[in-house]
Structure 1
């Protein structure tokens, strides 16, 4: 008799979801599928995810104890002084978000050590059942044949146009990156093909690392690459009733702030209590160092065996410089004011950078969830509200993700449409400085979530054109 198993995938682009489904249909586990989706995101979401960036992967399953793989970036060994600062390739550009503009710094000296390749190698070694070459195949094929650029990715390209236009190489790679067009990246296909047959030393101790450290007026040295490793950590855990919440631990701070809001809320669900919890988290926030890049995407996967994987990735905005012959940009984490609150170049050397990214699992007796979001400092409030809907209100996943959100930061409250008139009156009394948004917006995050247990389903957040898919494998 044929057997079947269900699965669910949620991500920021249909092709990212399709890559994960291809691997699940081929008999892979959730951990295999999320690596395939990760590599596809480099092709389908190239301004949000890149081999030159960093991220976090949370996993759990019947045969896999919960763990967090931290492959976010390290700060360089080299210190910047008044004597060498002026010679660095580090300069500002303006990103245009329509309603506001924001300054970023790019150039060789804005790049921190990339962690993504180490994350791929460690996750594959520790978690996966299929060869890495099999997992990379969907992304390699898509990079060679083309991926349709959707409106969301075209919007990101519009915001980051000054970075895309910063160098002739970047202009060439992204020349056809426009909504409705097929976008090919043959250099990235070749890079992924090589990576899928290599190991950690190929990227961090080989010719590519040498090329990157020889780029002029940057900060990274051979030792930065040779000493980098993916850290495996125990999750930060919080129990609410019968549910275990597992999220990103220190040194990152997003998970801690989400947990603090949930503890402050307790079992209340009214908007005044939700706002008070957000205000509490805002008071706890040590500095803007807890924030993270705007260029972020999230993928969640569950399989028929009950394995859960939650992955958040970022490349910052990219540093404007393509890695020679590889088809991707390095990150610009050292050029983001949000995560350099003490001023640029004032880091402690060889330190894992802090992040608001918080891939999360909810493990209940009947239902389990994997979820996460991009959204800079809004990550902590978006995730808090969705988790509260699921755990405290027992909401269906679709409602939890699509319910209206608010965000409190530095004394200012932003409110999405959809709250009742009575709730708006309460909020306006509690936070006199506020903004009422006329439309739902990617500003409030993009929570891509999956559910397994008695129900298997997936929801991609409409705010960021997310894609959710639940399917069945028959074998």
Structure 2
């Protein structure tokens, strides 16, 4: 969804893209009120947490990649952390029997829900840091549109309606959660009006008091007490000691584009960079369709194998990424591609203004814990319950340690002065969705709109999934083929 503004003074030009039109318009509203792309991006992130409530929340976290007008860039990491500070060893592991569900999404997604899956959320402190370092306005102004949407109501958009249906079992986990997301005996559907008055009150209080209300005040104590009561391990100390981290983003070049993306300890950006390095040796634009898919799907499959097996320790992920994104390793991967393979829990938004400030934010609450903190309207994440975020196993990290993510907010610039800010939801499909969009722009010369709307495919393990209209893969290379007759959020946003 895109909201654009143009005026006779080019410095007032602005563009925003988000998962719902409400969030894009929230960004435009805050820009009109005197903000810049950073203020607008936080406003959109807050509005998304209301209008895509199962994909983003102040009970979750994310990453903000900021490319300044002078061309410099930084990554604000406000992703979830492992909780449990001050608790005995016996508190970890949920008694060995965490509550597991299988979501009917794609080829099926296994997820752990409930209190034991809730990690330390970083959204509010992350938004405050983005505003403090790059914005013109404060948290109160940025949260204004989201508060109004939560209080006055909005009509549920298509993607949220789809996810409500996918998650309907999880949304019955508690009476409080059911009260928020069910209309009678069923979940809310696309086009129906929905309100979150308690969440509006919470956001208004945070806007007036600042993020410390959530991390060190009464609100944080209420959140921690509820999670602990639901057999979770989120303590008041976890919240009080949580801090966003400013990191140097990963720099990657492909064709005419110089890009910044989310680097270690996260794995999404390095996985994207690994795929781009592998495919950079081929003239993709002139390849026949079947050969093109072989190269792209091979790069996806092999990089995602490494994503699952190599990025196990956040402190070592920088060294791992340097090896896996190097040319020597890429040569090995290219040989493997042609030798044969062998047998919205997340959301994204981007804002760019005419001064050259670009902000790309990917946010997530996992697939959702099924918990809403009573009296607050805050849905809580289940990031500890997502296997790909916890390659060492359930509750295996040390308290305070950052989870490993596939989120890859990216900003690309060219020598001609063009800027593209992009990213995607989709777990392991995030890097592959961004890969295809970037190749469409940089190799095939598509416009941004054409590149985003083009049919996509995804290769992982023995699975090849594809949208109608995309090139087909050699069926002998995959054990499972999953066709989609129309565009689907399984392939990203």
More deviation, 213-222/435-444: 435-444
* Partner of residue 53, structure 1: 60
Indicate yes or no: 2:450 matched with 1:399: yes
8 Å CA contact 2:463, 2:482 repeated in 1: no
8 Å contact 1:288–1:338 — kept in the other structure? no
- Which of 375, 392, 404 is residue 342 of structure 1 equivalent to? 392
Q: Does 1:179 align with 2:193?
A: no
Once the two structures are superposed, residues 339-386 of structure 1 have per-residue CA deviations (whole angstroms, 9 ceiling, x without a partner) of 233332222332110100000000112211000000110111111111
Of the three residues 283, 292, 295, the one matched with 1:268 is 283
Specify the alignment match of 2:268 in structure 1: 254
In the aligned structure 1, how far is the partner of 2:246 from the partner of 2:49? 23
Which sits farther off after the overlay, 226-235 or 393-402? 393-402
Structure 1 residue ranges without an equivalent (≥5): 448-475
User: 1:304 Cα shift?
Assistant: 2.0
More helix by share: 2
Indicate if the aligned counterparts of 1:43 and 1:147 stay in contact, CA closer than 8 A: no
Q: Deviations over 1:87-146 (max 9, x none)?
A: 58941234233x654332222121000111111111111111023222211111111111
Among 208, 213, 232, which residue is 1:202 paired with? 213
Which is worse superposed, 111-120 or 232-241? Answer: 232-241
Q: Is 1:159 matched with 2:210?
A: no
- SS of equivalent to 1:125: helix
**1:95 equivalent in alignment to 2:103:** yes
Contact preservation (8 Å) 1:289, 1:338: no
| In structure 1, C-alpha distance between the alignment counterparts of 2:64 and 2:39, rounded to whole Å | 12
- Structure 1 SS opposite 2:276: helix
1:415-471 Cα offsets, whole Å, 9 max, x none, are 322145xxx3xx316724352514134354334xxxxxxxxxxxxxxxxxxxxxxxx
SS of corresponding position for 2:379: coil
TM-score (norm 1): 0.86
Please give the alpha-carbon distance, in whole angstroms, between the structure 1 residues aligned to 2:92 and 2:353: 52
Partner of 2:299: 277
Find the residue that maps to 1:161 and give its secondary structure.
Answer: coil
- 1:9 aligns with 16
- SS across alignment from 2:48: helix
> In structure 2, the residue corresponding to 1:301 is in which secondary structure?
strand
The SS at the match of 2:198 is: helix
In structure 2, distance between residues paired with 1:58 and 1:169? 35
Q: Is the alpha carbon distance of 1:198 and 1:149 closer, same or farther for their aligned partners in structure 2, counting shifts above 3 Å?
A: same
Q: Name the CA distance, whole Å, in 1 between partners of 2:118 and 2:484.
A: 37
After superposition, residues 359-398 of structure 1 pair within 5 angstroms as 359-366=409-416, 367-398=418-449
Tell me, in whole angstroms, the C-alpha distance in 1 between the residues paired with 2:366 and 2:142.
25
Contact 1:362 1:368 in 2 (8 A): yes
Residue pair 2:93, 2:394 contacting (<8 A) in 1 also: no
Cα separation, 1, equivalents of 2:275 and 2:109: 28
SS at match of 1:179: coil
Give the superposition deviation at 1:275.
2.8
Give unpaired runs (5+ residues) of structure 2: 1-6, 313-343
Name 2:322's counterpart in structure 1: none
CA contact (8 A) 1:289 1:339 kept: no
Distance 2:215 2:16 in 1: 31
After superposition, the C-alpha distances for 1:244-269 in whole angstroms (9 at most, x for unaligned) are 11100101001001111111111521
Q: CA contact under 8 A between 1:359 and 1:373: conserved in structure 2?
A: yes
Kindly report which structure 2 residues correspond to 1:62-211, keeping only aligned pairs within 5 A, or say none. Answer: 62-63=69-70, 65-78=72-85, 81=89, 85=93, 90-97=98-105, 101-176=108-183, 177-211=188-222
* Contact kept? 1:382, 1:444, Cα under 8 Å: no
1:412 corresponds in structure 2 to: 463
- Superposition RMSD in Å: 2.4
SS in 1 for 2:253: strand
Taking structure 1 as reference, are residues 8 and 340 closer, same or farther at Cα in structure 2, changes over 3 Å only?
A: same
Secondary structure in structure 2 of the residue aligned to 1:297: strand
* Closer/same/farther in 2, CA of residues 106 and 375 from structure 1, 3 Å limit: same
Q: TM-score, normalised by structure 2?
A: 0.83
Q: Given the alignment of the two structures, is residue 321 of structure 1 paired with residue 371 of structure 2, yes or no? A: yes
SS in 2 for 1:376: coil
Q: Secondary structure at the match of 1:380?
A: helix
Deviation at 1:82, TM superposition (A): 6.0
Partner of 2:4: none
8 A contact 1:373–1:445 mirrored in 2: no
Q: Per-residue displacement from partner, 1:290-323 (whole Å, max 9, x unpaired)?
A: 8xxx501110111122211111111112222212
